[in-house]
Every structure is written in structure tokens, then in C-alpha cells.
Amino acid sequence: MEEAGRDIYEIRLARADELYLLAAIEIDAFWALHDAGAVACEPTSLPIGVLRQSLETDLLFVAADALDQPFGFLAGIVMADTVHIAEIDVIRHWQKKGVGRRLMQAMIEAARRRGASGVTLTTDRHVPFNAPFYVSLGFRMLDDGERSAELSRILEREVEHGADPARRVAMALWF
């Protein structure tokens, strides 16, 4: 367990019985993005199939409080020889306390242990707790020619679902 202020929590692998809790975490965190101008659509949550895939490959991490209740999560998926961050969310009450950083560090370490060539993600380029946060972890923005076809398809799907193409960016941390 680690303490953030007076809040005690741990980062650990998720359990199958916790999958149903993650949609509520994602929707709560959505409103922070909405308020920052990153999204204008209605909140949605990651499909349960993606969460199960992450769980089955030991790429689904949760931040759990002192009562072992998840309040944040990070879902990764294997994409070719990389690990792709499908989603990372922390409920608003726990944001700005280092929880997202610890979730990302756990995933980066898991990707290294798997022998992945790196970690990829897509995000908003302007919101401080998005692209600038990932840069602080060593990620860099990818130009059109540097993106894999899979990453380009992910960005296209995000735009189809209402994301502003001028704000979306693919990023990578290569090992």
C-alpha cells in the first residue's frame, strides 16, 4: 500500500469479479475530460470484451483503496509486438494524486517483462493530464508516417465516435 496524502491505496492486477465496477470509474473520469474540453460527446465505457482480454493477458491493473475497492484502472491490450493502452481512468476524487502515474508505471513494467518493443496509446494533445502527462513518462507523439496501421485505425474510430481529429494524437514509449 502507498499513501497519497491521507489516502492509502495499492496498484494490483484486477480480478474478474471487479470488471463490472470499471464502467462507473470510466464514466466518472469522463467528466474531467469533458470539463477540460477534450470531449463533447456522451460518456461511454470500454466494451466488456476488451476488459476481459486485458484481464486474461494480465494487462488490467486497478488502483484499490484501503478497503480494496477499485477507484482507477488501466487496460492494456497486446497489439503486434507492443502493449497498447486501451483505457486509463481514475475517479475525479483521486485525480492529481499520482495514481495515474503509478498505473502507467505498472503497465510499462509489465510490457517490459513481456518483451514488448514499447507501449502505445492515443490521447488528447492539449489537456495537461493527457499528452503532456505521457511526455513526462517518456512517451513521444508519433507523426502520421510513424504510426502503425492499427494505431491509425484506432484514431479513425475515435474520430468516428465524436473525437476532434485536431486534438487526437498517437504516442509511444519505445524500449
DSSP string spanning 110-150? HHHHHT-SEEEEEEESSSTTTHHHHHHTT-EEPPGGGS-HH
Residue 92 has pLDDT above 90, yes or no: no
Give the C-alpha separation, 111 to 119, whole Å.
Answer: 7
3-class DSSP assignment, residue 69: coil
pLDDT at residue number 51:
93
- Of residues 15 and 33, more confidently modeled: 15
Tens of pLDDT, residue by residue over 25-56, are 888 776 566 555 555 556 566 778 999 999 99
One-letter amino acid of 15:
R
Q: By C-alpha distance, which of 22, 68, 73 is closest to 45?
A: 22
Residue 72 has pLDDT above 80, yes or no: yes
* Contact yes or no for 69/17 (Cβ under 8 A): no
pTM of the model: 0.86
pLDDT at residue number 84:
97
One-letter amino acid of 114:
R
Give the C-alpha separation, 80 to 117, whole Å.
Answer: 9
Mean pLDDT of 113-141: 90
Q: Work out the mean pLDDT of the chain and round it to a whole number.
A: 87
